[in-house]
A and B are shown apart, each in its own frame.
Chain A
Amino acid sequence: MSTLTAVAPNVLQKGTNVDAELNSSNSTITMETTPNPTPANQTMIEIDDVSFSYDLGKTNTLRNISLDIPEKQVTAFIGPSGCGKSTLLRCINRMNDLVETSRVTNGEIRIMGQDINAKSVSAIELRKQVGMVFQKYNPFPKSIYDNVAYGLRIQGIKDKSTLDESVERALKGAALWDEVKDRLKDSALGLSGGQQQRLCIARATAVRPKVILMDEPCSALDPIATAKVEELITELRRDFTIVIVTHSMQQASRISNNTAFFYLGELIEYDDTNKIFSNPSIKQTEDYISGRFG
């Protein structure tokens, strides 16, 4: 275990964070050997030695994960099924709260420096800042307009012009505006699968979150729709910090800046995407990427 955490690279900018300094003292070797993959960006999410359990701590699904996710970049989580990458993703906006017996048993997740599991943090307010797009596109059986406006409406915004403006901006941002602008009042279920998933992305961006979590957003889509969504994700990274879980290594290599490889609940390697896919430091990572297992 200690060897694994030691090789996991730190993506911190030096001197920006006290915790980073503390961390770095434990893993001085990595700090020196691994170049910082994102020199221009601030850290958005710090995951610090997190262990997570679905059954009140009897067994840990995630074990001592530490990684820092930089702002306005795409970070991909890869790994075989059951390795815990989706679990970690759902920890970031506390969606795991829905499971009664789930607990973060160790460590902290900090977003913009704030521990999100602290007592003073409201999961509801957190989720307004950390949006999520799911594996299976799930628009409500309402009109396209109502779907995008949903998040704003539950925040109590009723003003028609504000809603119109936000809906248009979100749909344009999701590259869906031209396709649906004439039928905003039609049911969202009449759209194609790819369009529905982009609608879900628009719905998540409409409330202007800081972070968007994507849980295998393309796994239910055909290659053409996938290409469009990927294009969209690269566009969105200008405004949002994106964390994406994917099974497709090609996808990870195409769209992400950084990639984290998980195996059996542990973080094996986290580095710049180019480095991971061209020259991984760990044998396990190389085996997985080259398709020898998983």
Chain B
Amino acid sequence: MSTPEAPKDNPFCKSQESRKTQENAIRTLFIIATYVILLSAAFIFGDIIIKGTPVLASKGWSFIFKKPQTLNVIEVEKSDHIEVPVKNFDSIIESNAKHSDLFTNIKEVQHQTNVTTFDIAPGSVIGEGYLKNLEKQNKGFYLRFDKRDTQSPVAFTLESPKSITLRNPEFESLKASAPEIVPAEVEVAERNLSKFEVTIEEGEYPIGKSAHDALVPTKLVFQMRQTFADDEPDKINQVIIPSTQTITVEAAVYFAAFDEDERGTLPLSAEESIPNKILFHTFELPAGTHAVAPDALAILEKHGANSQHNTARGSIIFNNKKPLTLTVPSNEFEELRKANPGLQISNVSNQDIASTYISFSLSKDAELRFDIDDYEAITLGNKASGNFIPLSEKTHSYSGGGILGPIVGTALLVIICMVVALSTGIATSVFLNEYAAKGKFIATVRLAMLNLAGVPSIVFGLFGLGLFVILAPTLTSQPNVESKLIIPIAPIASDIGAREVEDKKIYVSEEKMGTDEVRNLAAAAGSTRFYDGWQYISFQGWGTCMLAGGFTLAIMVLPVIITSCEESLSAVPMGFREASLALGATKWQSIRTAVLPYAFPGILTASILGITRVAGETAPIMFTAAVAERSDLPWQGINATGLDAFVGFLQQSVQALPYHIYTVAGRIPQSEYTEPMQYGSVLVFMMIVMTFAAFSVWLRIRIRNKIKW
């Protein structure tokens, strides 16, 4: 059966060739636009994946679990029996996968390390430097001592003979306290140096840092309003002179603190120059170890005879109640015992601890890559044998090691940010959606909030710098000179532990009252604590730290969080609220039991999307939290306990992944050695962010399927 022919004059059978061409052209344009975007995305991601994957493959997990390090590229002469600890050897092989065939004759070697374990009786006396060594060698040992021994001699060592010139009074007191080190033959010279007798009126004056530093050792009683900021030494502080005082100062102090030409600032009501003849005594201290009274060491220290292990403040007395068991390498034990005669040691036992080294040969000269700690280990391990022979050395910053610091930093920033953003965001959205009356004001507030989302992130960075880094209030006993406003809260008490007093630096230098005197006075008054100042709320900012960065990021992501929280809240059917209220629930009960639980999945999804956004931001943390280089993780090196430790931890600056990428890609000289770090970091970063994004999409789909009402 054939179909009947359609009539020729049918209106929709007309040929429309020209229109067809136009349609096709437009369609092609759209297709091209789409594919250009796809292609460029494929090119960028492809490049990162192709170049980044081998980096991850060769470095393995160490890329994630190692801190960023300087890469040392060393040309090494071929040699036999190079020894290095096992863990460093593994890492060296990892870094030099290309040259792995050059490492031959690999075998394990056992080295015995002898350690000595001993007990220290309570009341023992030890030099401060030795105590610090002990604290380093024994994990968990930290002495909060409260007494120093200012009588027992302290030792100091001179590598070579040293010529020392002393003024008369110093020379006399040295001679009195340590006659054994002053030789019979002393050169004496006489010189004229003016002294000044000055009178300073009671009052409050501006003072610079150099004048302040000059006045600290004098007998002037003064109190500082605030501490000097480390980063801005030129900033003028205020000094309080509690009473009119007349003191005699030497020329150097006079010029630093009072002479206007030399930028001294304190006004004087009377001054008189006193001619002053001074005898200078010059003699030579022989090389070797000398034991002198702490007073004598104080004088010698001023003239360059530094002691590594002892200070002029005296030795430290162990205040523990029970004997302490400690361990040191045996070769250091004898020195420790000899240098600290006041150390009462018992139960000494020696033990051998085996450590495994790898010995290998390098079959020909090669350019090898070393992370800095591997390089140090291999240099140290072959110092005696001389088997490791570097010929030339090049260093590339940040190109060795891994990205542990940046990953940890970014994670911490994200955690702080989300804690802040979610608590404020949920509160705000609950208020806007449930409590606030619909009106012009609330509409304006909401509009303002939404507009925040459009603010460039660098502006948030500057805002965070202004608000959190240099203005936010903080609780402190020593307000900084940068502080904008200081509100006293309460006097603060301290334990009379000397270490704590020393750490706190007392700024009321009453007749040179040292920490010992403060402590003794408090102890004499029968108290175990003493008041050493006031606690203030000081608007001096938090400094460049995680807390500032986290808050800045939180404010940046708040509009997004609030908007999506509000959406989740308004998606909860009105019926739930009505049903709950009709059963006699209060407003908050109804929100808590019948609204928030059902809005929670939406809020969760939004916050995960927020995390991916926050993790990727560079600009807001550039000024507020991130540093390019930091060798330790933020929780390392905090010398505090309890709340102070936590606060101290939050006030650490961190490395962050996006900022690290910016540094390695744009701030350091580029070379083939820096490239792996760039591609590796970007790939890891991309994987982390994409995992989170995918997780949030998955969660959203899952929740949509699960919850229906």
CA distance A283 to B89 in the complex (A): 104
Whole-angstrom distance between the Cβ of A94 and the nearest chain B Cβ: 10
Chain A residues whose C-beta falls within 8 Å of the C-beta of B583 in the assembled complex: 127-128, 131, 150-151, 154, 203-204, 207
Are B598 and A141 neighbours in the complex by a CB distance under 8 Å? yes
Please pick, from A124, A127, A138, A153, the residue contacting B575 in the complex, using a CB distance under 8 A: A138
**Considering the complex, which residues of chain A in the window 189-236 have a beta carbon less than 8 Å from any beta carbon of chain B?**
189, 200, 203-204, 207
A150-B584 contact, Cβ under 8 Å, with A100-B438, A134-B575, A203-B579: no
A124-B578 contact, Cβ under 8 Å, with A138-B573, A140-B594, A189-B708: no
- Of A131, A134, A140, chain B has the most CB atoms within 10 Å of the CB of A140
CA distance A207 to B580 in the complex (A): 12
Are B581 and A95 neighbours in the complex by a CB distance under 8 Å? yes
Chain B residues whose C-beta falls within 8 Å of the C-beta of A124 in the assembled complex: 584-586
Chain A residues whose C-beta falls within 8 Å of the C-beta of B252 in the assembled complex: none
Residue A182, interface by CB 8 Å = no
CB nearest neighbor in B for A98: B581
CB nearest neighbor in B for A212: B582
CA distance A62 to B598 in the complex (A): 35
Are A154 and B580 neighbours in the complex by a CB distance under 8 Å? yes
Are A204 and B582 neighbours in the complex by a CB distance under 8 Å? yes
Chain A residues whose C-beta falls within 8 Å of the C-beta of B709 in the assembled complex: 141, 189
Residue B437, interface by CB 8 Å = yes
CA distance A153 to B437 in the complex (A): 29
Are B589 and A154 neighbours in the complex by a CB distance under 8 Å? yes
A132-B584 contact, Cβ under 8 Å, with A154-B589, A189-B709: no
**Considering the complex, which residues of chain B in the window 572-623 have a beta carbon less than 8 Å from any beta carbon of chain A?**
573, 575-576, 578-586, 589, 593-594, 598
CB nearest neighbor in A for B439: A100
Please pick, from A134, A136, A151, the residue contacting B584 in the complex, using a CB distance under 8 A: A151
The proximity string for A residues 119-143 relative to B, scoring 1 for CB distances below 8 Å and 0 otherwise, is 0000011011001101010111100
Residue B1, interface by CB 8 Å = no
Residue B29, interface by CB 8 Å = no
Are A140 and B584 neighbours in the complex by a CB distance under 8 Å? no
Chain A-chain B contacts (Cβ-Cβ < 8 Å), number: 65
Residue A73, interface by CB 8 Å = no
Residue B707, interface by CB 8 Å = yes
CA distance A153 to B584 in the complex (A): 11
Residue A93, interface by CB 8 Å = yes
CB nearest neighbor in B for A129: B584
Chain B residues whose C-beta falls within 8 Å of the C-beta of A100 in the assembled complex: 437-438
Are B593 and A154 neighbours in the complex by a CB distance under 8 Å? yes
Are B438 and A207 neighbours in the complex by a CB distance under 8 Å? no
Chain A residues whose C-beta falls within 8 Å of the C-beta of B594 in the assembled complex: 140, 150
Chain A residues whose C-beta falls within 8 Å of the C-beta of B578 in the assembled complex: 95, 98, 132, 134, 138
CA distance A124 to B587 in the complex (A): 9
Please pick, from B585, B707, B708, the residue contacting A154 in the complex, using a CB distance under 8 A: B585
Are A150 and B582 neighbours in the complex by a CB distance under 8 Å? no
A138-B579 contact, Cβ under 8 Å, with A124-B584, A128-B584, A155-B584: yes
Chain A residues whose C-beta falls within 8 Å of the C-beta of B589 in the assembled complex: 154
A140-B582 contact, Cβ under 8 Å, with A100-B437, A154-B589: no
Whole-angstrom distance between the Cβ of A90 and the nearest chain B Cβ: 9
Are A150 and B581 neighbours in the complex by a CB distance under 8 Å? no
Whole-angstrom distance between the Cβ of A138 and the nearest chain B Cβ: 3
Chain B residues whose C-beta falls within 8 Å of the C-beta of A127 in the assembled complex: 581-584
CB nearest neighbor in A for B437: A100
CB nearest neighbor in B for A132: B582
Chain B residues whose C-beta falls within 8 Å of the C-beta of A200 in the assembled complex: 579
Are A131 and B582 neighbours in the complex by a CB distance under 8 Å? yes
CB nearest neighbor in B for A97: B581
A136-B586 contact, Cβ under 8 Å, with A150-B593, A154-B593, A189-B708: no
Chain B residues whose C-beta falls within 8 Å of the C-beta of A136 in the assembled complex: 575
Whole-angstrom distance between the Cβ of B258 and the nearest chain A Cβ: 70
Chain A residues whose C-beta falls within 8 Å of the C-beta of B438 in the assembled complex: 100
CA distance A72 to B652 in the complex (A): 70
CA distance A207 to B579 in the complex (A): 13
CA distance A132 to B582 in the complex (A): 6
CA distance A193 to B576 in the complex (A): 16
Show 12 residue pairs from A and B whose CB-CB distance is below 8 angstroms, ordered by the A residue: A95-B582, A98-B578, A127-B581, A127-B582, A131-B583, A132-B582, A138-B578, A141-B709, A150-B583, A154-B585, A155-B584, A203-B579
Nearest first, the 3 A-B pairs at minimum CB distance are: A138-B575, A128-B584, A151-B583
With A127-B582, A134-B582, A138-B573 known, 9 other A-B pairs at CB within 8 A are: A95-B578, A100-B438, A127-B584, A131-B582, A131-B583, A132-B579, A134-B575, A136-B575, A140-B594
